[in-house]
Amino acid sequence: MAAETSQSEEEKISWWVKKDITAIDEFMDPNCMIHSPLGDYIGQYAMKNVMEAWIKGFPDLKVENLITISEKDRVVLQWKAYGTHLG
C-alpha cells in the first residue's frame, strides 16, 4: 500500500500542483474510469478534458488526497479540492 500512496501523491503533485496534463499518460491506464462531479468518463483523453475544465474554472485549485485504496491492479482515491471559482 505504501507504493500506491506514494505514487498517488506523486500523481497529485504532477497534475494539480505543476498542472502537467501530460503526466496523465504516465499515471493512468488508457482505459481508466473517472468519476467526477462533471460526470463519468473513460480514458486518458477524457481525464485530460476533465482536468483542463477544473484548472480553467479554479486556477488556484488545491487538491488533497484523503484515502488511497489499492487491490491487485486497481487504485482508488478519495480526495477533496478547493479553490476560487473564476468561471
CATH of the domain at 33: 3.10.450.50
Q: How many domains does the chain have?
A: 1
**pLDDT value at residue 45:** 93
DSSP H or E segment with residue 77 = strand 74-82
Is 87 among the domain residues? no
Q: What residue numbers bound the domain in which 63 lies?
A: 2-82
Condensed to tens digits (0 to 9), the pLDDT of residues 37-65 reads 888 999 999 989 988 988 899 999 888 88
**pLDDT value at residue 18:** 80
Per-residue exposure over 37-67, b if at least 16 CB sit within 10 Å of its own CB, e if not: eeeeeebbebbbebbeebbeebeebebeeee
Q: pTM for the full model?
A: 0.71
3-state secondary structure of 40: strand
Is 74 among the domain residues? yes
Q: Minimal CA–CA distance to 8: which of 63, 58, 48, 83?
A: 63
Is 75 among the domain residues? yes
- For the chain, what's the residue count? 87
